[in-house]
Amino acid sequence: MIIEEKKRIYGIKAILPFLSCIILVLIMVQSYKISNLTNLMPFLTLIAVYQWAVYAPRTMPPIAVFLIGILQDILSGGPLGMTALFLLIVRFIVVGQGRKLLGQDFLFNWLMFLLITFAYALLNWLIVSLYYDEWQSFLFILGQAIFTAAFFPIIFMIFNWLREIFNVKV
């Protein structure tokens, strides 16, 4: 009986991080009818992958990150594999540092995330410029990075709440 209950909870635990990322992809590609919001859309999936990779890396395996990235590339109409590549690199770095990040307070995590976001934005800008063979404007991607950093505490709070409710500490 106890084993059955554990399995059931583990099932929710296993699917929750992936599902939350899919929901964030759907939020990102919605048509908001607000001038320039598309240009400044925060990297919500980056926040999610970062947080789950720090606090519950086993629930966010590389294949899940790859699928999230591919889905985002398809729904956003971008080059296939680009977001998947960026998110996999972020997961690899974060999981490598996971234990160190886990013991730190929120402000340290926010600062670390800020550095990762700006590196992510720079890489994004560089790859897209190479892809088009033309330097792209850095202004909007900088705006996206700032918005992402600003959105981090909100997503952090929501995911913390979810982790506590479903007891995700894998």
User: Where do contacts with another protein occur on this chain (CB under 8 A)?
Assistant: 26-41, 61-63, 65-66, 69-72, 74-82, 84-85, 88-89, 91-92, 95, 127-128, 131-132, 134, 136-137, 140-141, 144
Max Cα–Cα distance, the chain, nearest Å? 62
Question: Of 104 and 137, which has the nearer Cβ to another protein?
Answer: 137
Name which of 91, 79, 59, 74 is nearest 168 in CA terms.
59
Shortest separation between residue 48's beta carbon and another protein, angstroms: 14
Q: Provide, rounded to whole angstroms, the least separation between the CB of residue 107 and another protein.
A: 28
Give the span between the Cα atoms of 61 and 68, in whole angstroms: 11
Burial of residue 72 (number of CB atoms within 10 Å: 0-12, 13-18, 19+): buried
In the complex, least distance from residue 126 CB atom to another protein, rounded to whole angstroms: 12
- Residue whose C-alpha is closest to residue 43's, from 163, 137, 133, 140: 140
Asked whether 68 and 22 are in contact (CB, 8 A), the reply is yes
Q: Is the dihedral of CA 91, 113, 108, 163 positive or negative?
A: negative
Supply the minimum distance, in Å, between the C-beta of residue 153 and another protein: 21
Is the Cβ of residue 5 or residue 77 nearer to another protein in the bound state?
A: 77
Q: Of 129 and 160, which CB lies nearer to another protein in the complex structure?
A: 129
| Nearest to another protein of 28, 114 (CB atom) | 28
Min dist. Cβ of residue 82 to another protein (A): 6
Question: Which lies closer to another protein via its Cβ, residue 2 or residue 71?
Answer: 71
End-to-end CA distance of the chain: 22
